[in-house]
Amino acid sequence: MIWVLFAVSLIATVPAGLRWLRVAQREHYLAPSVTTFALRWWGRGFANRALAAVALAGVIGSAWNPWLGLLVPLAQVGPIGLGLKGRTSAMVWTGRLRRVAALSGVFALMIYLVAVFLESALLMTVGLFSLPTLVDLSLVVMAPIEKRMGRRWVDQAAARLKSSGAKVVAITGSYGKTTTKQYAAHLLSGSLRTVASPASFNNRMGLARAINEGLIPGTEVFVAEMGTYGPGEIAELTQWIPPTVSAIVAIGPVHLERFKTEERIVTSKAEILDGAETAVISIDHPLLAELAAKTEGGKELITVSGVGGSEARVVVGGSRLWVDGVDVASVPDQIFAVNLAAAIGIGMALGVELSALLDRIGGLPRPEHRQTVSRSDRGFSIIDDTFNSNPAGARAGLEALVEIAAGGRKTLVTPGMVELGPRQYEENRVFAAEASTVVDDLVIVGNTNRRSLREGAGMGAASVTVVASREAAVEWVRQNLGPGDAVLYENDLPDHYP
């Protein structure tokens, strides 16, 4: 019997393993994300809870009757809804994923073979049942190995950056990093040969690739976006990408699930200031205002703000730009205020003439999927804010919807916000409550935040529709909206979210 269970478990490991490997890749190979998502998926919906109960019964029952252990591989048809290939985020067989897959397979096979040797159906079923945790274990084991393997490219990038003589502008924040980077690169490029890290290449290997492939001869300024999932990561980046100017543009509960507190977020982001000649800090958040006060005197400080009337050195409020208390220019519509203020501050820190920066404000790029506006073939306006997952940005998107729709029908499509830790339920509930008082329709996508969004929506008069996927939401919008109407797509979740 043990050999039958071994063969069936081995077969079931393949599709189950592919699911959890895809989750590992989508979650940036960070343990224990796979186990965390497994718990979410198995607890989502009656069918998955039933399959989880069947699997658990098989594990327990196998201690007395080995045939009951077959329930565990049978349950691997789930979690229902988590596809093998992915609808929005297909798995890519990179070298790193292959190594994680191989090690996870070795761990599983070792458990199965030991189970055969001991004739323990219980051990066999525990191994299969714990497959997500085995993937996480592989991530932990491989992390230092992957870091060492990437050392070659990091060293090459560090040498290339140093030999170029380019000054480094390092930008971080809970959100707004990419927008500030694009604004800064645009403003600086009129006076200095500027290269910016592409897309969201904001971690160790992404920045190494950006430098190795993108830093061209004659580059005077390299603008680097730096992200982090924990303390020490940005400090390590600044060791080999030493900044001349460092900017912190915003702090919020993004990634609070990993950081636990906003204070830890600020501490981790503040690592970017170490070694920089000038610090550009938004003071719109109390914790950042406190950080700026501590920074003052230690290095040159340029405070910025996206709130009119602020005492910061650079302020963008309404349609005006103030520098050192002087109204110096108007700003275009649909500009992200604090990001523009930070970009101006960065230019000032590098010694660029203010007039040269102001001359380029009119041509500022519009970051993709961040409140970009288009018109459908059916005549309604579309606000694409799908790269946004923070409370402040969501409210700004809502304001844009109200303004653009004017007298037309206003529709909000959202799966809600994620990675907000203990504040996720409440933040989504409050956002839906606010939205339901100004929109006509709230279309909730998926199950991740459905309960909190529905609860919040009950505070207003908006009609509520729940759909299973983004595709279904788009179809609903096409069938229900027409000329003069507007829809806001606020955030988007890949399909590895339950």
Tell me which of 119, 146, 173 is where a domain ends.
146
> Are residues 278 and 350 part of one domain?
yes
Q: Is residue 497 part of a domain?
A: no
**265 plus 334 within the same structural domain:** yes
Q: What pLDDT score was predicted for residue 31?
A: 92
Residue 237 inside a domain? The answer is yes
Give the predicted TM-score (pTM) of the model.
0.89
Do 216 and 256 belong together in one domain?
yes
**Is 498 within a domain?**
no
- Examine residue 496 and state whether it is found in any structural domain, yes or no: no
Same-domain check for residues 185 and 140: no
Domain count, the chain: 3
Q: Is residue 77 part of a domain?
A: yes
In a domain, 385, yes or no: yes
Tell me whether residue 142 is in a domain: yes
Helix (H) or strand (E) holding 401: helix 391-405
Last residue of a domain, one of 331, 363, 395: 363
Q: What is the pLDDT of residue 367?
A: 79
Do 74 and 142 fall into the same domain? yes
Residue range 185-208, pLDDT digits in tens: 999 999 999 999 997 789 999 999
Q: Is the domain of 158 the same as that of 139?
A: no
- CA 473 – CA 450 distance, rounded (Å): 14
Range of the domain at 419: 372-490
If asked whether residues 284 and 422 sit together in one domain, one would say no
For the chain, how big is the Rg over CA atoms in Å? 25
DSSP 14-49: HHHHHHHHHHHHHTTT-TTHHHHHHHHHHTSSHHHH
Tell whether 387 and 356 lie within a shared domain. no
Which residues in the chain come in under a pLDDT of 50? none
Q: Do 180 and 37 belong together in one domain?
A: no
- The last residue of one of the domains, among 115, 146, 177, is 146
One domain, residues 88 and 232: no
CATH code: domain of residue 286: 3.40.1190.10
Q: ω before 79 within 30° of 0 (cis)? A: yes
Question: What confidence score (pLDDT) does residue 445 get?
Answer: 94
CB count within 10 Å of CB 215 equals: 18
Q: Is the same domain home to 304 and 396?
A: no
- Whether 495 is covered by a domain: the verdict is no
pLDDT score for 112: 96
Residue 356 shares a structural domain with residue 483: no
